[in-house]
Structures are given as structure tokens and as C-alpha cells.
């Protein structure tokens, strides 16, 4: 049996309750919700609302936090970032660790309406954000918006989003957080107040399946729809309805994936958010500590390992990342992910272009033995 | 057990092989395809390519037809209709039967770049398109594009898309077909030549699950991306890559839904496209013929019943559509769909605003007994 260390791409395996919920829904309730008056449709609609509430609660939003579902975090990010009412030349601060699902959208905004993108300063050795410098930058060039990954998909570095958001809010900046690699494992304090849009992915740190994601909004910043279609409500209009969630949720709800996400939320609650987070982080720290013995292994980690979640990026002297990935897979049955991880700016910052790094991402179902096998494999490669 | 007659919203139940394929993939292979070099990722990538080929073949495209996956037909329609390089004032012909996933996009194009929308003429009694009139209209005002639903989601009327597309092609018009209610049950002749974009939905007439849909393109008309994000290839670029499918497929592939669609394609082949189509149509015809005895039932059908697939729209004198839907569900355990079916222009054309109609949609798993139970229920309501 292979050892799966690609949990930053998608968590795998899924909790048994998620698999069962998906299979059960597909067999017994995979109908089109909310647009029919029959029992299965009404039941589906209740499930959708329950899932919205569960997600909002896990992400620490209060009752006024509104969850809107999308098919993927990428789509949700597009809906938010292209839907904001930008003005020519608006200043947007961002981190050096954005995924292309953010960077490519921001690039498009730069190309089309000349938004000015400023990267938040961070020490390239300690990987710590320079909060004083950020304060000064905000003072000189006040942010219109702040778009930050919560956790880097390349190296699981945690952005201190709460502190930076608080600074930005004194300039009334719009705050958008890409939580695809974080939510709900790192619930924020004052989310409702500080974060206008928190994007989540169902199939990553939520431990659900593909096909469901979305964002929570505190309702303060209106969005213009970027996708048009049927909403099952106000069907007589040829424009998109004004009210949420219809304004941004178009087409049939993916009730099967929502059933999986609902079960995942229950599993997260039961297992304990902190337990999952600390398990992932413990495996990460164990790996870093063991690999620290090998000077040929270069790891991209903060001086403070608590600033990471569960994924490690590294290279081995004398090998490309791709070579290491192939050896890990073919000789040791270990699944990793190599290259740029759809985050070229992060690799530019880390100095790991053009080949990128090897990434091993730990999930709740990994064990200390998996770490041992992986470290042993690295040792063999080096020797 | 309730009788499910809402197959136009989504086919239900699903073939057993689809349920099994989804559950198996979720348990054993729900990883992120194509961006890792390990066996499960490579296997997922092969499955995706196999499914592309199966879909293209079922939709009658030859080897050059390229299938691009989206999360929903709505999203695919947006990608196509917003991605075409329109010019101010372009003339677009369309049918009176478009779903809001088309109408609302076209309305947006009208509002923003003043495209001129012209409705194809059709006899409101016989529901037959006036091909001579269309020919003359094309001659007077040549089409830049033709956007047609293949089968109406309201009443399953089949648009003679092949004939009209052929006429439009002599003006080099771009041809877009919304096949959400048709593909692959009505494979087109000369699809590759006549149809630039054929949109399909995985969870409707393809008998797969939610979360997978897309379009086939013959590659002749370039599209500008409307969604930006990670593509797992050319990650170093901050613009979307030029090559297909990456230019339009962003974010993680929904391998679980693709596994279901792949199984569905196999089931469709094995069961026989014509068998499925004729079974649905036979139930439709049986229903129409039996309800014809009741003058209080007004049905929205063509003079030629062969011009329909499997869904019937009707009202009962003295009742709103909603009342009938609720009685069918609560007193007879029959699931129908009432209202405007996200297609207000169709109801405007049929004269059924503001309440719409009751729609019963038959699928392959319905039986003649379901029809008898439904007709008996209508009889009881009338009496």
C-alpha cells in the first residue's frame, strides 16, 4: 500500500462517514434541490441550509455570516475577486505565497483595470512577516483591499491574517482570505468583523469530496455576479436576482457533494479541529526535525515551526524536485507532489524556480510511521 | 415508494454502475489528477482522457472534437457565451425555449455590448419552426451566431438544430447548442462541421452525477478564458496557458464525478442510446395520448409527438401549476416540477406566465405503470 503524502492537493483518504454520506445520497437522494415541492427536494434543501450553517460555524462566523456555495475554491475566488467593484488603480496588497487561483485573477485585474499589486514584506530567511514595515506601507499607500492566502499551499506557512487584516481595516480595506489550505483548521478570531470574504475548499482541509467549495461573506461588500444562469428563484427575471444566495449560486446544487461536506463537518466537530490540526502539525515537525540531520536536504521552513500547518517543501542537493518525486513514488511507494504547485510567485520568492520543490503534505490519516518511511527513503536517496 | 417524474431536473435514480464507480473512486482514488507523478494520479489522468473520448464519441464528434470539462452546464455555457470574441451589435439568433443559463448570459451581452437578439420564428400552435422564414431572416440579417437549446427543458420540444445550423453555416455563423436536456440521446449528424460548441450536462441525459459537465468544441472558434486559476501546467505563467484543455479547465479535476460519468458512458453504450431515447419518448407519448381524453388538461405539445423527448408540460383547468404539483406529491407520492423551470421566455411564448406549468419528465427507469399512476392521479384531481 502506497503512502499518500499529497494531502495539500486533496486530503485522502476521506473519513468513512463522508464516503457513506456521498454513496447514500447518490443512491437515495441525488435530486435537484429546492426547486420542487416533493419530499426529497425539500429534504435536500434542508441539508443545504444545515451545511451552510455548519460551515459558517466551523469558520467562526456568527449567524450573520452567509455561506455561498461554488463548485471549487478557484471559482469562488473568481466570483469574489472579479465581482468586487474595483476602481482603476486600486491598491491591492497580497502575499508572496498566492496560488495561481489568486495570482492569475489579480494579474487579469492589473491588465484590465490597472490595479496596483503590492507584495507584503516578509523575511526570506525566517519567513516572518515584517509587521512594522506593513504598517508603514499601509500608512503611505492605504490598501483598497488585502488578498491573502491563509496557509501557503507550497510550504504550509501560515499568514498572520488576523493581525494584518486588523491593520488594513483601519483603512476600511476589503479583506479576502484564500482559506483553501486552512479552513476550518485555523479558525479566526473576529472573522465576521475582519474578513469580508473567506474562501474554502470542501475537498482539502474540510475533508469532504470534490465539487463543493465556496465562500463566507459578512455581507458588507456587494459583489457583481460573474456567472449567469438559473437560480430556481425569481425565474421571471432576465437579470440575476439581488438576494443571496441566488445572486451567486447558479445551476443545480451539487447535493451529493454537499451531503459529503455535511458529513465531513460532523466528523471535524467530533474529531476536534484542534486534534486534527495538531496531528498534521506534529507530523510536519517530526519530519523537519528528522530531516534537519541531513545537510543535503534544504527545507523551506520558518524559524518557528508553529508557523506551519502540515506541508513541507524541500529539495535534495544534486537532484531536481521531479527526480526526487519519481524516486519516492517508484522506489518507495510514496506519493508526493513536485514542481511549482500552481504557485510560481511563491517559488520565485523561495528561490526555487524553475524546478520548484518536492512537497509532502500530511493529513489526519497519516501516522508517525509514514514519516519514518519517508525519512528513511530520503536517507536512502542521499546515501 | 414515491414515483419520480422530475428527470428533466436531474435523472434519478442513477444506473447502479454509476453509483458503484463514484463510491469506488471516492474510496480508492479520489486524488488530484495529473499534477503528481504517482500511480493514482496517473491513473486518474488516464480516466479523464478516456472519459473525454467517450463523451466526444457519444456526442458524435470525431477524433478532433475536444471535450472540456466544467463543473456544470451553466458554467460551461458562461465559458462559451462570454468567451466568444463578440463585437458591438453582433446579431445572435436564439430559440424561444432557452433556459436562464442561456437567456441571462445573452441578456448580459445585450446590456454590455449591445448584441442584437433575434428569436427564431415558430408556430405557437404546432410548435414547429418556420424554416422558410428563418432562411429569409438569415438572408436579411445574417447571423453572427446561433444559440439554440437542443431540447426544451420545459416541454422537451426538440429544436431542428442540424437544419438550422446548416443554414447558419452558410453565413459562417458560430453555432452553440445547449444540449443539457439532449446529449447524448440525440446525436447529431455532422456535429464536428456544424456545431462549434455543444454543451452537455453530466447529471441529466448522460445519467451521471452532479459536478461534471462541459462542452465539446470543434476547435474552430477561440475562446477567451473567463475564469482564472491553476491549471497544473505552465504554472510559471501569470496568464492562462494557450493550449487546451488547460486554457479553460481550472482548479482540481472532479475525478469522483468523472468516474461516475465514465461509468455512465459505458452504461449508455451498453443499454443503447436509441433504446433509452425511445423508452423515454414512449412514456411521453403514452402520457399525452391518455391525457388527451381530458379537456380540462391543457398540454404544451407539438402536432408531431416525435418532436419531443421525455418531458411533458401541462396545466389543469381551475388549478395553478403549484397546486397540482403539491396535490401530486402529497396525495399521490408523485414528484413533478412546477413553475417557470428557469425558462421564463419559454413560458412567455407558451402563454403560461406567471404560474408556469406542471412538468413531468420521464427517465429510463420509469415504467408504463408510473404513467398509469400519474394519469390516474390527474383523473382523480379533475373528477
* Overall size of chain A counted in residues: 383
A38 and B77 in contact by Cβ < 8 A? no
Task: Tell me, yes or no, if B341 comes closer than 8 A to chain A by beta carbon.
Answer: yes
Give the separation between CA A206 and CA A66, rounded to whole angstroms.
17
**Cβ atoms within 10 A of the Cβ of B339, count?**
26
Is B310 within 8 Å of B7 (Cβ atoms)?
A: yes
* Partners of residue A198 on adjacent β-strands: A177, A216
According to the model, what pLDDT value does residue B63 have?
74
Task: Tell me, yes or no, if B361 comes closer than 8 A to chain A by beta carbon.
Answer: no
Q: Which of B6, B104, B234 to mutate to test the interface with A (most CBs of A within 10 A)?
A: B104
Q: Mean pLDDT for chain A?
A: 96
Question: Is the confidence at residue B85, as pLDDT, over 80?
Answer: yes
B36 and A235 in contact by Cβ < 8 A? no
Return the beta strands (E) in A237-321 as ranges.
297-299, 311-316
**In terms of CA atoms, which chain B residue is nearest residue A236?**
B344
Domains of chain A with bracketed CATH: 3-13+272-382 (3.90.1150.10), 16-270 (3.40.640.10)
C-alpha neighbours within 13 Å on the C-beta side of residue B42: 8
**Is cis: bond before A354, omega within 30 of 0?**
yes
- Mean pLDDT, range A174-194, rounded to an integer: 97
pLDDT per residue as tens digits for the range A312-336: 999 999 999 999 999 999 999 999 9
Residue A250 grid cell: 447558479
Q: Which of A26, A107, A251 sits opposite B239 (nearest CB)?
A: A107
According to the model, what pLDDT value does residue A20 have?
97
Is B150 within 8 Å of B183 (Cβ atoms)?
A: yes
pLDDT per residue as tens digits for the range A226-257: 999 998 888 889 999 999 999 999 999 999 99
Question: Is the confidence at residue B34, as pLDDT, over 90?
Answer: no
Helix axes B161-169, B131-140, angle to 10 degrees: 20
> Where residue B62 falls among pLDDT bands split at 50, 70, 90?
confident
Q: Is A311 exposed, middle or buried (0-12, 13-18, 19+ CB in 10 A)?
A: buried
**Cβ atoms within 10 A of the Cβ of B163, count?**
13
Q: Which of residues 130-189 of A touch B (CB under 8 A)?
A: none
According to the model, what pLDDT value does residue B92 have?
98
- Mean pLDDT, range B49-55, rounded to an integer: 96
B336 and A105 in contact by Cβ < 8 A? no
**In terms of CA atoms, which chain A residue is nearest residue B234?**
A342
According to the model, what pLDDT value does residue A36 have?
65
**In terms of CA atoms, which chain A residue is nearest residue B22?**
A23
Residue-wise DSSP of A93-118: EE-TT--HHHHHHHHHHHHHH-PEEE
According to the model, what pLDDT value does residue B35 have?
62
> Where residue A35 falls among pLDDT bands split at 50, 70, 90?
low
Give the separation between CA B22 and CA A85, rounded to whole angstroms.
40
Q: Which of residues 74-103 of B touch A (CB under 8 A)?
A: 74-75, 77-78, 99-101, 103
**Cβ atoms within 10 A of the Cβ of A267, count?**
20
Residues of chain B contacting residue A232, judged by C-beta atoms under 8 Å apart: 342
Is A4 within 8 Å of A329 (Cβ atoms)?
A: no
**In terms of CA atoms, which chain A residue is nearest residue B20?**
A23
Give the separation between CA B69 and CA B200, rounded to whole angstroms.
9
B203 and A344 in contact by Cβ < 8 A? no
Residue-wise DSSP of B146-205: EEEESB-TTT-BBP-HHHHHHHHHTTT-EEEEE-TTTTTTSPPTTHHHH-SEEEEETTTT
- Mean pLDDT, range B259-265, rounded to an integer: 98
Question: Is the confidence at residue B75, as pLDDT, over 80?
Answer: yes
Question: Is the confidence at residue A157, as pLDDT, over 80?
Answer: yes
According to the model, what pLDDT value does residue B233 have?
82
Residues of chain A contacting residue B231, judged by C-beta atoms under 8 Å apart: 100, 342
Q: Mean pLDDT for chain B?
A: 96
Residue B368 grid cell: 408504463
| Alpha-carbon distance values, B325 to A234, A247, B379, B383 (Å) | 19, 26, 14, 17
DSSP β-ladder status, A311-316 and A297-299: antiparallel
- Mean pLDDT, range B223-234, rounded to an integer: 92
Q: Give the closest residue to B184 by CA, choosing from B117, B276, B93.
A: B276
Q: Residue A314 in 3-state DSSP?
A: strand
Q: Which of B69, B119, B235, B249 to mutate to test the interface with A (most CBs of A within 10 A)?
A: B235
Task: Tell me, yes or no, if A206 comes closer than 8 A to chain B by beta carbon.
Answer: no
Helix axes A161-169, A131-140, angle to 10 degrees: 20
**In terms of CA atoms, which chain A residue is nearest residue B39?**
A329
Residue-wise DSSP of A270-287: HH-HHHHHHHHHHHHHHH
According to the model, what pLDDT value does residue A172 have?
98
Q: Give the closest residue to B197 by CA, choosing from B182, B211, B217, B181.
A: B217
pLDDT per residue as tens digits for the range A55-93: 999 999 987 779 999 999 999 999 999 999 999 999 999
- Mean pLDDT, range B341-347, rounded to an integer: 96
B227 and A74 in contact by Cβ < 8 A? yes
> Which is higher by pLDDT, A37 or B329?
B329
Residues of chain B contacting residue A339, judged by C-beta atoms under 8 Å apart: 35, 235
According to the model, what pLDDT value does residue B36 have?
64
Give the separation between CA A345 and CA B285, rounded to whole angstroms.
60
Strand order across the beta sheet in which B357-361 lies: B297-299, B311-316, B357-361, B337-339
Give the separation between CA A12 and CA A19, rounded to whole angstroms.
11
A35 and B337 in contact by Cβ < 8 A? yes
Give the separation between CA B132 and CA B227, rounded to whole angstroms.
40
Give the separation between CA A291 and CA B212, rounded to whole angstroms.
41
Q: Which of residues 11-50 of B touch A (CB under 8 A)?
A: 12-14, 18-19, 22-23, 26-27, 30-32, 35-41
**In terms of CA atoms, which chain B residue is nearest residue A326?**
B37
pLDDT per residue as tens digits for the range B269-314: 999 999 999 999 999 999 999 999 999 999 999 999 999 999 999 9
Q: Give the closest residue to A72 by CA, choosing from A227, A252, A210.
A: A210
| Alpha-carbon distance values, A320 to A294, A325, A348, B168, B243 (Å) | 17, 9, 16, 54, 26
CA Rg, chain B, in Å?
A: 21
- Mean pLDDT, range A141-167, rounded to an integer: 98
Amino acid at each position: 500500500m502506497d503512502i499518500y503524502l499529497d494531502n495539500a492537493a486533496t486530503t485522502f483518504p476521506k473519513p468513512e462517514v463522508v464516503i457513506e454520506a456521498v454513496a447514500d445520497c447518490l443512491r437515495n437522494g441525488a435530486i435537484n434541490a429546492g426547486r420542487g415541492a416533493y419530499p426529497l427536494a425539500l429534504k435536500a434543501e434542508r441539508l443545504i441550509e444545515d451545511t451552510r450553517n455548519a460551515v459558517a460555524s466551523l469558520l467562526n462566523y456568527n449567524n450573520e455570516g452567509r455561506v455561498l456555495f461554488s463548485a471549487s475554491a478557484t471559482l469562488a475566488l473568481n466570483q469574489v475577486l472579479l465581482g468586487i467593484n474595483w476602481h482603476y488603480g486600486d491598491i491591492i496588497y497580497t502575499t508572496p505565497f498566492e496560488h495561481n487561483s489568486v495570482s492569475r485573477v489579480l494579474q487579469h485585474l492589473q491588465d484590465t483595470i490597472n490595479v496596483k499589486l503590492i507584495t507584503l514584506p516578509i523575511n526570506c530567511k525566517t519567513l516572518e512577516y515584517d509587521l512594522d514595515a506593513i504598517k508603514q506601507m499601509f500608512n503611505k499607500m492605504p490598501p483598497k483591499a488585502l488578498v491573502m492566502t491563509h496557509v501557503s499551499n507550497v510550504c504550509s506557512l501560515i499568514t498572520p491574517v488576523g493581525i494584518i487584516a486588523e491593520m488594513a481595516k483601519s483603512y476600511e480595506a476589503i479583506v479576502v482570505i484564500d482559506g483553501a489550505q486552512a479552513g476550518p483548521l485555523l479558525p479566526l478570531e473576529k472573522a465576521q468583523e475582519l474578513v469580508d470574504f473567506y474562501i474554502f475548499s470542501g475537498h482539502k482541509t474540510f475533508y469532504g469530496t470534490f465539487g463543493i467549495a465556496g465562500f463566507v461573506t459578512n455581507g458588507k461588500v456587494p459583489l457583481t455576479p460573474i456567472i449567469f444562469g438559473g437560480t430556481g428563484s425569481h425565474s421571471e427575471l432576465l437579470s440575476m436576482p439581488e438576494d443571496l444566495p441566488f445572486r451567486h449560486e447558479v445551476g443545480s446544487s451539487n447535493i451529493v457533494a454537499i451531503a459529503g461536506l455535511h458529513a465531513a463537518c460532523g466528523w471535524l466537530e467530533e474529531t476536534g479541529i484542534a486534534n486534527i490540526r495538531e496531528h498534521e502539525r506534529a507530523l510536519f515537525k517530526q519530519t523537519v526535525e528528522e530531516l534537519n540531520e541531513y545537510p543535503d536536504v534544504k527545507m523551506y521552513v520558518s524559524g518557528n515551526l508553529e508557523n506551519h500547518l502540515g506541508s513541507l517543501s524541500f529539495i535534495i542537493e544534486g537532484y531536481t524536485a521531479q527526480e526526487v518525486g519519481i524516486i519516492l513514488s517508484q522506489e518507495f511507494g510514496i506519493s508526493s507532489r513536485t514542481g511549482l504547485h500552481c504557485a510560481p510567485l511563491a517559488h520565485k520568492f523561495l528561490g526555487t524556480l524553475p524546478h520548484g520543490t518536492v512537497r509532502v503534505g500530511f493529513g489526519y490519516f497519516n501516522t508517525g510511521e509514514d514519516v519514518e518511511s519517508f525519512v528513511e527513503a530520503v536517507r536512502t536517496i542521499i546515501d
